[in-house]
Amino acid sequence: MSNNKPLIVLANSGLIDPNSLEQAIGVGAYSAMAKIVEEAIAPSDVIGIVKASGLRGRGGAGFPTGLKWSFTAKDEQVYIICNADEGEPGTFKDRLILEGDPHRLIEGMMIAGYAVNATKGYVYVRGEYTLSIERMQTAINAAREVGLLGENIFESDFSFDIEIKKGAGAYVCGEETSLIESIEGKRGYPRLKPPYPGAVGLWSKPTVVNNVETLANVPPIIVNGPEWFRSYGTEKCPGTKVFTILGHVEKPGLVEAEMGTSLQTIIDVHGGGVKDGKAFKGALVGGSAGAFVCPDCLDKPMDFDGLQELSAVLGSGAVLVFNEDASIVEMLDGILAFFKHESCGQCAPCRGGTQALKTIMERIRDGHGVAGDLDKMVEVATSMQATSLCPLGQSVILPITSALQHFRPEFEALIS
């Protein structure tokens, strides 16, 4: 962290042997759950602590975590799902947590389970993450062996266990309802919402779906309290964010920085500056469904609200940096190819819209664009936003409109 505050989410990653339960316990693993049991903190009070911390989901949308838990319907069977699908291009932050500190994630899921009365959790991990799956399974086995997972945890009435489910590589399966369909053994098609998973989720039971990074924040919040968590970040977005810094920077990689850190600090301090001393042209923030930003945005805070003011999104926290030589036309073409490939095909607006957008974009890219093409792209993406069944089709508009807002002349130069 640039101001030398201790890290939260990545505090132990790289410092402990992820295959050692002893080392994890040595740095505080399971002390949050122990505290809950010893101090007899009621499930509703756990939700109250998480609400008071202001923790917001790190899977993209920034929905308040405590609120999500409080909305979860009461039932004798409730499920927790940890979303570790991480299909967003240029994002590998969850992987570092899974591979570097798996017991933190187990404990985060366990506390979420205690809060909403769930006894079973699933970790849905993308199949390509073989090392993540291996380390999570080793950690689950070790926790089970000593009774940290299973019946009557810390001799309480609370029982909880975790199973790993592997994804098969579809981007849409990161969307919570497609993910649920996939765990149920069906084709990973999104469901219409409402009902939301908190009411009707896995096997039609109330289900909490949270991102890996979200759950990794929970144990330290319980141990240190909501005020401590609020001492990081901004008032509306407390805590930290794990950013993936990619593209034309000297030091690509991952960094945990406070919410609200400026884009300039992310690039210059954490990313080592634009590569080879070239000028900064712009960045794609938030992954493929994110927004292009330009040099005017460098001083803006990187958090859910700060980026919303720029009509951008924080998304997964991926920051893809472009130097002066980069082609935004090529970039947008790549993004639209991705969406065309990943559209699940269930609903017509997304299936046909992603095809149409790619066709127009390719024409422009190859220098054969015709008058009206740019407006046509916005028109197609706008109707996709209004009529697609899930946020995949609804979100294609953002990279298109932001690219045109900041870099329109580059596209116009290719249109006769």
Ligand X SMILES: Cc1cc2nc3c(=O)[nH]c(=O)nc-3n(C[C@H](O)[C@H](O)[C@H](O)COP(=O)(O)O)c2cc1C
At closest approach, how far in Å is the CB of 209 from ligand X? 5
Q: The sheet that has 318-323: what strands, in order across it?
A: 253-258, 240-247, 318-323, 280-285, 291-293
Cβ atoms 245, 254 nearer than 8 A: yes
Instruction: Output 18 or 393, the one with its CB closest to ligand X.
Output: 393
Contacts of 386 (CB under 8 A, 6+ apart): none
Distance CA 196, CA 63 (A): 13
d(CA 363, CA 373): 9
Contact criterion met (CB below 8 Å) for 271 and 249: yes
Task: CB nearer to ligand X: give 292 or 338.
Answer: 338
CB 52, CB 226: distance < 8 Å: yes
Q: How far is the CB of 190 from ligand X (least distance, A)?
A: 8
By beta-carbon proximity to ligand X, the closer residue of 62 and 273 is 62
CB of 14 to ligand X, least distance (A): 22
DSSP H or E segment with residue 50 = helix 43-53
**Min CB(129)–ligand X separation in Å:** 11
Minimum CB separation of residue 295 from ligand X in Å reads: 29
| Residues 165/122, Cβ–Cβ less than 8 Å | yes
Report, in Å, the least distance between residue 40 CB and ligand X.
27
Q: Are 60 and 316 in contact (CB under 8 A)?
A: yes
* Residue 211 beta carbon to ligand X: minimum distance, rounded to whole angstroms: 3
Spatial contact of 283 and 263, defined as CB atoms under 8 Å apart: yes
Of 68 and 270, the one with the shorter C-beta distance to ligand X is: 68
Of residues 274 and 350, the one with the C-beta less far from ligand X: 350
Q: Of 211 and 346, which CB lies nearer to ligand X in the complex structure?
A: 211
Are 293 and 319 a contacting pair, CB within 8 Å?
A: no
Can you read off the two tokens belonging to residue 160? 């909880």
Q: Is 41 in contact with 217 (CB distance < 8 Å)? A: no
Q: Tell me whether residue 214 or residue 240 sits nearer to ligand X (CB atom).
A: 214
Residue with Cβ nearer ligand X (167 or 369): 167
Closest approach of ligand X to the CB of residue 268, in Å: 28
Separation of alpha carbons 259 and 231, rounded Å: 11
- Give the DSSP H/E element, type plus range, for residue 338: helix 328-342
Nearest to 24 by CA among 113, 105, 131, 137: 105
CB nearer ligand X, residue 290 or residue 369: 290
The helix (H) or strand (E) run that includes residue 48 is: helix 43-53
* Dihedral of the alpha carbons of 296, 404, 335, 344, in degrees to the nearest 10: 120
Closest CA to 320 of 90, 88, 60, 58: 90
- Residue closer to ligand X, measured from CB, 88 or 258: 88
Q: Give me the least distance between CB of 312 and ligand X, in Å please.
A: 17
Q: Which is nearer to ligand X, 198 or 273 (CB)?
A: 198
d(CA 342, CA 392) in angstroms, rounded, equals 9
Minimum separation from the CB atom of position 260 to ligand X (A): 18
CB of 151 to ligand X, least distance (A): 27
Residues that bind ligand X in the complex, under the rule CB under 6 A: 57-61, 63, 68, 83, 85-88, 171-172, 174-176, 209-211, 214, 390-392
